Amino acid sequence: MRSDRNTRAPVSLKIAAAGGLLFMHLPILLIFAYAFTTEEKSYQWPLPGLTLKWFAVTWNRPDVWQALGLSVRVAIVSTLIAVVLGTLCAGAISRSKFFGRETISLLVILPIALPGIITGIALRSAFNLADIPYSFWTIVLGHATFCVVVVYNNAVARFRRTSGSLVEASMDLGADAFQTFRHVILPNIATALLAGGMLAFALSFDEVIVTTFTAGQQSTLPIWMLEELVRPHQRPVTNVVALVVVMVTVLPILGAYYLTRDGDQIAGHGK
């Protein structure tokens, strides 16, 4: 029998695997084409002609800018909260064994494991019962809650690879807790936090299901897009916005991949 390294995949498997990958990527590439179409009223294919004018039109749309601004602000604040909470939780879970440890890791994962609509309606009914009016902060509350798990996953994977004796050495050598954190722990986990933060940003920037329940009358970019999807009346602008959203979310994902590619990836996502 040939050794494992030399075995080659059967052609049928190669075709099926390539087909699967194409199925996942071609639809997104189609968005790129549609951003340049001259057709305004329908989703006609083949494209009747190509133009750059919709980029200019979109650029001059205040509602798009407003939605984009809100989305970015929400994503930044939620990411910061998630980074702090996720790191603290990962530090506690990975450093020690204690009663309720499993419960706490379940608690962190729950907001993303249950369907988004449940998180959404749960938050809305809580806001209703407590008479909290919808605001920027109600959106942030929801987003930060389900972003924690992303940072947590990345940080836990990194803490596992970081030796606890480094911290002991630092404390033994006379550094106080803050110095140890600043000079020993932080340099070790910084790239994992950055990667987790980027993913959290992408997650928050793109979120729509929970947001529809917590935003009230405010419009984040995904909500703006959702309205366009339900009742399309400015298809070319929507095409351009979709293209921009793809770019804004793809960059953090690639960045996170490069920051964690030596070993973390299996621990972070392999379950």
Q: Which is nearer to other proteins, 56 or 229 (CB)?
A: 229
Per-residue contact flags (x/-) with other proteins for residues 26 to 45, judged by CB under 8 A: -xx-xx--x-------xxxx
20 binds other proteins (CB under 8 A): yes
* Distance of alpha carbon 35 from alpha carbon 41, whole angstroms: 14
- Which residue in 40, 164, 250, 263 binds other proteins (CB under 8 A)? 250
* Distance of alpha carbon 28 from alpha carbon 94, whole angstroms: 38
How many chain residues touch other proteins (CB under 8 A)? 101
165 binds other proteins (CB under 8 A): no
Angle between helices 235-260 and 136-161 (to 10 degrees): 30
- Which residue in 70, 116, 143, 195 binds other proteins (CB under 8 A)? 116
Binding segment for other proteins among 50-58, 70-78, 111-119, 157-165 (CB under 8 A)? 111-119
Binding segment for other proteins among 8-16, 51-59, 72-80, 186-194 (CB under 8 A)? 8-16
* Distance of alpha carbon 93 from alpha carbon 102, whole angstroms: 9
* Distance of alpha carbon 37 from alpha carbon 47, whole angstroms: 6
- What residues from 118 to 157 belong to the interface with other proteins (CB under 8 A)? 118-119, 121-126, 128-129, 141, 144-145, 148
- What residues from 174 to 213 belong to the interface with other proteins (CB under 8 A)? 174-180, 183-184, 199, 202-203, 206, 208-209, 212-213
> Which pair of structure tokens corresponds to residue 36?
């340049």
- Which residue in 50, 56, 92, 186 binds other proteins (CB under 8 A)? 92
70 binds other proteins (CB under 8 A): no
Angle between helices 186-206 and 221-230 (to 10 degrees): 30
* Distance of alpha carbon 237 from alpha carbon 66, whole angstroms: 15
Closest CA to 219 of 56, 36, 73: 73
- Which residue in 115, 136, 160, 186 binds other proteins (CB under 8 A)? 115
